[in-house]
Structure 1
Amino acid sequence: MAAGLGAAVVGLAGGAVAIAEPLGFVALVVTHVVRRALRPDDRQILHFATLGGVGLALLADTLPRAVLVTDISLGITMAQIGSPFFIWLANARSEANA
């Protein structure tokens, strides 16, 4: 039952992101990473999440051009980064609650 609920959460989150904006989940990914790194200090999360989001978008835009020598859409690259992260996050949370 937990696996079905986890799949439903991932599917609903993916659908919401697809409807809202292809790059909208950058803030979700970076905020989770920054929150884990700066757990005790909530005052700095906004600042580091902003810088991290800009850095992630820059990396996702520049890396395919440098490695593949072709231009790939930023949305495609971010989907390749964000999808495994959200699957890992959903699994980690479901295992913690079990």
Structure 2
Amino acid sequence: MQTTAWPFIQVNDCGIACISGTSTKVTEIAECHLAYRWDAEQLHQQLTGLSLPQIHAALGYYYEHKDECDAQLRTACEQADNLRLSSEDDELRRKVLSRLSQ
């Protein structure tokens, strides 16, 4: 982990910014902020394990490194889509639906 100019933020060996001492990624906080339009206070109410200063630091880091964080969010979304597609099994689905209809 490397420290950053942002208090409470560390970047791991993979280049992912996290809240220091937690496994919470800056992009997870940014995703909630963007998807739900939550401000720092609302995020603090939802993410009870994080302090308000940690959340403010995460949002500040996100906006200062927006392009990089957005690219990480896109990559994570693509990976989730690929995993979902690779796990779809039409034969299994047919068997389950067949048994449910009996």
Higher strand fraction (1 or 2) = 2
Fold-level match, TM-score > 0.5? no
The structure that has the greater radius of gyration is 2
TM-score of the aligned structures, taking structure 1 as reference length: 0.29
TM-score of the aligned structures, taking structure 2 as reference length: 0.28
Higher helix fraction (1 or 2) = 1
Structure with the greater relative contact order (CA < 8 A, sep ≥ 6): 1 or 2?
1
